[in-house]
Amino acid sequence: MTQTPWLSLLIFVPWVMALGLACFYRKDGDAAKKAALVFSLLPALVTLFLVGHFDAARAGMQFVERHDWIPSLAVEYCLGLDGFSLPLVILTTILVPFAILASWQEKKTDGVFYALILFLQGNLYGVFTALNFFPWFLFWEMSLIPAFFLIRIWGGQGRIAAATPFFIYTMLGSAAMLLSFLALYISVGTFDFVKLAELGRTGVIEGALYANLGLTPADSNMWVTLVFFGVLLGVAVKVPLFPFHSWLPAAYAEAPTSVTILLTGALSKMGVYGFLRLLLPIFPGVIREWLEVLLALALAGIIFSAFAALFQKDLKRMLAYSSINHLGYCLLGIFAAAASTHEVAGAATEIAATLNGVVVQMFSHGISAAALFCFVGWIETRGGGLRGLEDFGGLRKAAPIFCGLFGISAFSSLGLPGLNGFIGEFLIFKGVFALVPWAAVGATVGLLVTALFLLTCMEKVFHGPLPEKWEKWPDLSLFERVTMLPLAALMFVIGLCPQMLVGLVNPCSTRMAEWLSRLWI
């Protein structure tokens, strides 16, 4: 009995559509745009099906597809979906059409642009569903390529200076990760994430590393650490983890709006997902060993980027730093989840709360940041390329709906309860505080500064007197309102009924929390 390969469909349909766009709509940007929109909605059907048939009560992998690829190297084409990946798949499904809609008025785009976006979409699905390192890495790398070209060709003034470091930096990280995984493969003979997690849990990996790399037991700890840091580098650059984040502001600022939306909404989630899928299950021990350092890095990311955002005068750069800040909470949660927990009562619940929080935070950051970047894109279009903090003022008078929806997104981003941002932050804080109190307390500074710069942005751009030259500032058109509507609605829905999302994640995180809390007590 072979079942329908839904996950493969999810990956390959956008690929095929991208190919079709690249072949047939190369010149006609307008038609390509429409086609791309329709095409990018096709995976939504598959996603709908997946959501409908996803057994939320089960913690394991579902919809698994497993085919041999290179049997001699244990490379399998293996896809699966669990509570961690499903929200990200949903997020991708939402964001890609949104990104296309967000830059609907963009004139420079053509068929290849949209083909790259669709290609990126397919690869994102691949990263979020692959269960074997080899295909996972392929998707990972292939998602880098369209992102690079999208920035390099369609970006703003400084696109070259932004795109090249982005590419090289992530590439270096990936190379390190690849080496680490090769070492892992040589020592334990598998690329399968599920099996690797099993080995990581039972502590086999350390032994295997020195046994198979011909090293002495004394070195084994060092080798595990080295391998760990290789993988860490790969995913950390993508998230990004402080101090590997410096490619991000330039890349986000220079990329066209729709690409920024995807970069922040979906691509950065690849990194966090990597942490969740690779590092936490496979190397919990090493994380625990380096816990203070890693937490300090995450915390530094949260605080420094928040303050850096406060300093920025360019709205896009400001939001870029805000992205680093928000994902910092995710990393904080992930690291804290590996903390030594024997003195914490009910540690499993706290870890589960943290992991739930991480996924919810990823999802809600994806939505809020996408919405904010979209607004900044619209501001840029309307302002004739201006997007400085000081260039505007009083726009709320001219465009109340614009301001209202921007405000909703901003408040969602700064974690106002009742909107989506709060749920993730609350869960992360709840878990992290119980596990590592100082980290949670330190991170509150980030919350404060986030509010400060977002409100400053509101004040500078939308409040105050309306300059004469912006008096004709157009409010959101019906099209733009409809574009924004689903995201705004999602912000409220997740804020009010978080169970819809948490319910998907919880069994998975509960299982992981249980074995993390029992690890080497």
Of 290-309, binders to other proteins (CB under 8 A) are: 303-305, 307-308
Is 348 a binder of other proteins (CB under 8 A)?
Answer: yes
The DSSP H or E segment spanning 69 is strand 62-70
Q: Does 59 bind other proteins (CB under 8 A)?
A: no
CA 512 – CA 490 distance, rounded (Å): 27
Contact pattern for other proteins over residues 367 through 406, marking x by CB under 8 A: ---------------------------x-xx--x---x--
**Which one, 251 or 286, has the nearer CB to other proteins?**
251
Residue that is written with structure tokens 């505007």 in the block: 392
Sole binder of other proteins in the list 258, 392, 430, 519 (CB under 8 A): 430
Q: Which stretch binds other proteins (CB under 8 A): 142-150, 263-271, 380-388, 448-456?
A: 448-456
Closest to other proteins by CB, 70 or 311: 311
Indicate which single residue of 158, 385, 418, 474 sits in contact with other proteins (rule: CB under 8 A).
418
Taking contact as CB under 8 A, which single stretch among the options 131-139, 268-276, 366-374, 428-436 is the one that binds other proteins?
Answer: 428-436
For residue 247, the minimal CB distance to other proteins (Å) is: 6
Indicate the residue among 137 and 247 with the shorter CB distance to other proteins: 247
Residues 111-170 that bind other proteins (CB under 8 A): 164-165, 168-169
User: What letter would DSSP give residue 192?
Assistant: B
Residues 173, 233 contacting (CB under 8 angstroms): yes
- With CB under 8 A as the contact rule, the residue among 350, 358, 371, 483 that binds other proteins is 350
Residue 498: strand, helix, or coil: coil
Name the minimum Å distance from CB 47 to other proteins.
13
Does 20 contact other proteins by CB under 8 A?
no
At its nearest, how many Å lie between other proteins and the CB of residue 195? 25
Distances in whole angstroms, Cα of residue 393 to Cα of each of 165, 458, 463: 34, 9, 6
Contact 322, 436 (CB under 8 A): no
Span 453-472, contacts to other proteins by CB under 8 A:
455-456, 458-459, 462-466
Q: Using a CB cutoff of 8 Å and minimum separation of 24, what contacts does 313-316 make? A: 313/388, 313/389, 313/390, 314/253, 314/387, 314/388, 314/389, 315/376, 315/379, 315/387, 315/388, 315/389, 315/457, 315/461, 316/252, 316/253, 316/260, 316/373, 316/376, 316/380, 316/387
- Residue 509 sits in the site that holds other proteins (CB under 8 A): yes
- Report d(CA 347, CA 514) in Å as an integer: 8
Pairing of strands 62-70, 75-81: antiparallel
For the bound state, the minimum distance from the C-beta of residue 167 to other proteins, rounded and expressed in Å, comes to 9
Q: Which of residues 183-212 bind other proteins (CB under 8 A)?
A: none
> What secondary structure letter does DSSP report for 75?
E
# binding residues, other proteins (CB under 8 A): 75
Per-residue burial over 113-128, b = 16 or more CB atoms within 10 Å of its CB, e = otherwise: bbbbbbbbbbbbbbbb
- Position of tokens 């099209």? 479
- Residue number with CB closer to other proteins (37 or 153): 37
| Closer to other proteins by Cβ: residue 134 or 396 | 396
Options 144, 498, 508, 516; binder of other proteins; rule CB under 8 A: 498
Angle between helices 193-202 and 133-154 (to 10 degrees): 120
Q: Assess 311 for contact with other proteins (CB under 8 A).
A: yes
Q: Does 448 bind other proteins (CB under 8 A)?
A: yes
Q: How far apart are CA 183 and CA 495, in angstroms?
A: 43
* 51 near other proteins (CB under 8 A): no
Q: Pseudo-torsion of CA 332, 338, 343, 344, nearest 10°?
A: 60
Near other proteins by CB under 8 A: residue from 261, 295, 513, 519: 513
Residue from 43, 97, 249, 421 binding other proteins (CB under 8 A): 249
